[in-house]
Amino acid sequence: MYSVGDIIYIYKEKNNSLFPCVVAEELVKKTLEGQETSYTVLLPDAEGTLANLSRLNVTTFSSLEEFNEHYLKESKKQAEKAITECSAIAEQKFAKYSKSKKENVVKKQETKKLVVQDENNVKINFDLSKLDEVGI
């Protein structure tokens, strides 16, 4: 999957942060039951911490483009879910106040932007209007 020296990217959903790290070690364990591969990565902290990748509770990506596709897809799913839930609640609780359903339709914007900032104040800008272009 990875080779020693590869730069990979780890995403921690808990605090919505993305970090680069380097594969420092690849361990292949062969037993009668099969083969198991584990990786140790060098984290980008000041101490140069080495960590077992499987214990970090992160999602890994081989490239920033792969992360971008994943993040945009998940963001779109979450937005659609929130809109659906909100619309259902509004219809259920406030139907008598509704002037016209057309007023509640979410209008497409020319450019939709999403800015993600991690705990190190690194900002990633996403142009969500590109989702239609790539078919997401």
State the SS3 of 65-90: HHHHHHHHHHHHHHHHHHHHHHHHHH
Residues 83 and 85: their CA atoms lie apart, in Å, by 6
User: Which of 10-14, 86-90, 100-104, 113-117 has the least mean pLDDT?
Assistant: 100-104
Could you read off the pLDDT of 91-133 as tens digits, one per residue?
A: 888 888 776 554 445 554 456 777 777 766 777 777 777 766 6
Residue reference for tokens 């960590």: 51
* pTM of the shown model: 0.62
- Whole-angstrom CA distances from 8 to 44, 61, 79 are 11, 6, 28
